[in-house]
Amino acid sequence: MARREPEAREDFPHGFHLSAADERLLRGPVPIHALRWAAAAVGPEAAVVSCRALAGGTSSAVHELEVIDAEGRHHRLVLRRFVRRDWLAQEPDVATHEAAALTAVAPAPVPTPTLVASDPDGSMVGVPAILMTMLDGEVDWDPPELDDFLRRLAQALELIHRIPVPADGSLPPYRPYAVQLRRPPAWATDPDVWLRAVALAKRPVPSAERVLIHRDYHPGNVLWRDRRVTGVVDWVNAGVGSPWADVGHCRMNLAGRFGQPAADRFESLYRAVSARDDEYSPYWDAVASLGGFDEASGSLHLNAERFLAAALSRL
């Protein structure tokens, strides 16, 4: 889960701009009792010998740990602590959910982290937490060859959608995040785009399809080495729903970083590798852009307006 910080640019990826308070909360030191819990999960007499915060992401505190066990073997692990009280108030079982997701995707044909231990109620760590293996590779926000990058992103996503849905109901059904936008942002250049997009996002979900979905699939959660995908991380939002939900979320992120043509190309590549011939609904673009955000959200910007305008043009 190593994350290479991208170069500074206007369309800076999500999770690399933090307030001072969030920097302390998410990137600050890990409490000693949490490190002791992680070491004990590896085995008796194991010890954490290094700990560093991983860049990117704003929802939880994520640290890379190096642990040495009693036999002198080194283990590279990732400790995720759910430190945001607002998230825990809405989803108190979030660690249980991620543990179930990691278990479900263990047989995936694309590498995923292996669950090592979980503290679902925070009784050991202080907050709910997950300990998992660390995958090889780095996030790449500046690929040397964009079309090959998009093709491999699409291939990896199609492999994820092949994973069997757990029969025990441990993963929740897809539900769009609530649209909280009450009015267009003050800076909007075309307020009608926002009003029409909100109406689109509030329509019923256009598909009852049930496959395993990542729910937060985008370049920031895909690892690379030598231009090949080495893993997909951050499974905390995984669920069961239409694969187009993942496509739309990734399209939104691609459009913001690389422009609308990259988003459209990704869609066509996914369609090719999955052999799908059903129509893609612009609903998925609208809910990806607007779900959970209000008009003051820093995630809404001019790129989002352009993306929404492109979605509405498909109606």
Q: What is the pLDDT along the chain (315 residues), one digit of tens a residue?
A: 333 333 333 444 544 567 888 889 999 999 999 999 999 999 999 999 999 999 877 889 999 999 999 999 999 999 999 999 988 998 999 999 999 999 999 999 999 999 999 999 999 999 999 999 999 999 999 999 999 999 999 999 999 999 999 999 999 999 999 999 989 998 999 999 999 999 999 999 999 999 999 999 999 999 999 999 999 999 999 999 999 999 999 999 999 999 999 999 999 999 999 999 999 999 999 999 999 888 777 677 788 999 999 999 999
Q: How far apart are CA 141 and CA 166, in angstroms?
A: 32
* Residue among 122, 103, 123 nearest 114 (CA): 103
In the chain, where does DSSP find H-type helix?
Answer: 20-27, 32-42, 85-90, 94-104, 146-160, 191-201, 243-258, 260-274, 283-290, 302-312
How far apart CA 122 and CA 37 sit, in angstroms, is 11
* 3-state SS class at 287: helix
Calpha distance 57→221 (Å, rounded): 9
Predicted pLDDT of residue 57: 73
pLDDT score, position 192 = 97
Q: Cβ distance 128 to 121 under 8 Å?
A: yes
Of the CA atoms within 13 Å of residue 84, those in its CB half-sphere come to 18
227: alpha, beta or left, given left = phi > 0 and alpha = psi -120 to 50?
left
Q: Domains in the chain, please, with CATH?
A: 2-133 (3.30.200), 138-312 (3.90.1200.10)
> φ and ψ at 276, to 5 degrees?
-85, 140
Paired tokens of 43: 């085995």
Asked if residue 96 lies in contact with residue 81, where contact means CB atoms within 8 angstroms, the answer is no
pLDDT of residue 17: 64
Give the separation between CA 126 and CA 33, rounded to whole angstroms. 8
Cβ-contact 109, 122 below 8 angstroms: no
Q: In the chain, what is the straight-line distance between the N-terminal and C-terminal CA atoms, in Å?
A: 38
CA distances (Å), origin 109, targets 23, 56, 78, 270, 296: 35, 25, 21, 17, 40
Please tell me the predicted confidence (pLDDT) of residue 39: 98
d(CA 21, CA 175): 31
